[in-house]
Amino acid sequence: MTDTPAPDLTGFDVIKDYVRSLDGSPGVYRMLDAQARVLYVGKARNLKARVSSYSRPTGHSSRISRMISETSSMMFLTTKTETEALLLEQNLIKQLKPRYNVLLRDDKSFPNIHVTTEHAFPQIKKHRGARKEKGAYYGPFASAGAVNRTLNQLQRVFLLRNCTDSTFESRTRPCLLFQIKRCSGPCVNRISEQEYAVSVKDAERFLSGRSTEIQERLASDMQAASAEMEFERAAALRDRIKALTQVQTSQGINPKTVQEADIVALHVEKGQACVQVFFIRANQNWGNHDYYPRLSADVEEPEILQAFLGQFYQTKEPPKQIILSNPVDEPELLSLALSEKAGRKIELIVPQRGEKAELVDGALRNARESLARKMAESATQAKLLRDLATAFGLEAPPQRIEVYDNSHIQGTNAVGAMICSGPKGFLKNQYRKFNIKGHSITPGDDFGMMKEVLTRRFSRLLKEDPDRQNGIWPDLLLIDGGAGQVSVVAGIMNEMGVSDIPMVGVAKGVDRDAGKEEFYRPGERPFALRHNDPVLYFIQRMRDEAHRFAIGTHRAKRSKAIGATPLDDVPGVGATRKRALLAHFGSAKAVSRANLADLKAVDGVSSALAETIYAFFHENG
């Protein structure tokens, strides 16, 4: 427990007070400002020595000096080892997002290929998230597109099914994939279980980088079939060899000496950074992904790369080797932390020559080009926002634009949608959907739906951030509609006391042609922009994105409603038992009419559950 310094101390003085109560233990420290917001999270082998370095008034970069001057208090947590401190530090950085730390902003999971084992004829499919289902997993792949390409290749060569188990069981005739030679038709017994198992093993060998071995065996089988005058089988094997050869040719540059590694390259320019990650598995390039970590000024490349790696592998399985473009701070410590997390040795390598260096050069070139494109896009976006502010008479370029739209079919499955845009383009993690709940709203009443959406949105903002300090309040609202919609929205904003937020209605002009949009503002005459104005295209893109998101949300809700049955409301009946009941009785109506004895006869339905189902339909119905 540390002593709390006097409340009037700041900067160097407040840090000196803390130093007196610290010892030489390893641990993590947090620096907080006057509002108790975390400015920085750091780790130390020796907390007293590390924090003492901040108490000296000289020898700091401008970033660190600024951070020290804003520090009003500190928090400490000791750990048993420095490795434990490093892992805790990265955990806290991702959780708290301190202003002065390097922060990895895009941290989604990567897809894998999953070969199931619970079925006599295993399915091969794309998988993302926790590996709860039994089977073999291969990955990670950089994107869903990379997985889909590989799955298409596997279908062409090994003819494995990708249909769900329920679809498999219900087939009576081969599907289209069998007709176009993308599946061997196990659902209708066009291939034996033993032959299919061989194809599955071959696919797994291919995903493990042993494609040459497969090709040699296929060639041998083809010759044997030809010698035995089984020409149809020999022709099928020939087609598989040809498809496998085409796959190997189309895979691009695949390293010969690197079996499993991530290639991580960093390029920094004008205060911005791009980290490019290439995934090498089974001697194959499984795609790449670029990241743009948030930086403070004066951060050196080793610190950026170490922070990136610590946060990146916090939720991902590290490969055997991580091949880097730059050295990192404390590489031995980072390697030890990753090795402990993975339960096996993880190497960090900065190659100087050979194939590994060539791989790094390629990743570095991609990082440089990606950052150049992003900086150009940012400059264009900044100009568009400035021109938008001029066109609509705003005091400053908006940093957050919210665009609203509704979607329904004759009032059914109604949803509202909000998308968000800013200096970095569309902020997809800020998109929101609103299931329309108002029972008093007349079906198809767009005004009523818009009122509900905006009331819910701004009620939440007023509750979560009443002082507008967290950057989640919009600087501009774009509404899909004309004078009527704008009038309704203005009334809602006045009622809620947020009428200072500018709003613009975007309505189709003459003949509802794109390019002839008219813009409506409260209390002002409508106006239009010239046909080729970049701001007009910018607004059209935002409106179309809102429309796309609203339509997609509506379709998802409608599909869910179509697949809904009364069984969804029965306690204890999940997806598996629902499928079993529907397969046994044929329909939810038949289940509702079944007697108790028939319900007990269904596989997976216990006597107690059968009584629950019977009671639900006969007592509640």
**Fold of the CATH domain 11-96:** GIY-YIG endonuclease (3.40.1440)
pLDDT of residue 387: 93
| DSSP notation for 295-312 | --TT--HHHHHHHHHHHH
**What's the whole-model pTM score?**
0.67
- Domain 261-372 indexed as CATH 3.30.420.340: yes
pLDDT of residue 350: 95
State yes or no: pLDDT of 557 exceeds 70: no
Average pLDDT, integer, range 392-400:
92
**For 137-157, what is each residue's pLDDT tens digit?**
887 887 787 788 888 877 877
Domain ranges of the chain: 11-96, 112-250, 261-372, 401-561, 566-619
**Fold of the CATH domain 401-561:** Nucleotidyltransferase; domain 5 (3.30.420)
Window from 43-52, 143-152, 409-418, 431-440 with minimum mean pLDDT = 409-418
**For 180-229, what is each residue's pLDDT tens digit?**
888 889 999 999 999 899 888 888 887 776 766 676 777 777 888 788 78
State yes or no: pLDDT of 539 exceeds 70: yes
Kind plus residue range of the DSSP H or E element containing 516? none
Which of these CATH numbers, 1.10.1740.10, 1.10.150.20, 1.10.3720.10, 3.30.450.20, describes 566-619?
A: 1.10.150.20
DSSP state of 526: -
* Contact indicator for 274, 367 with CB cutoff of 8 Å: yes
Q: How far apart are CA 213 and CA 282, in angstroms?
A: 13
Signed CA dihedral, 556, 561, 566, 569: sign only: positive
List Cβ neighbours of 379 (8 Å cut-off, separation of 6 or more): none
Same topology for domains 11-96 and 566-619, yes or no?
Answer: no
Angle between helices 211-227 and 193-207 (to 10 degrees): 150
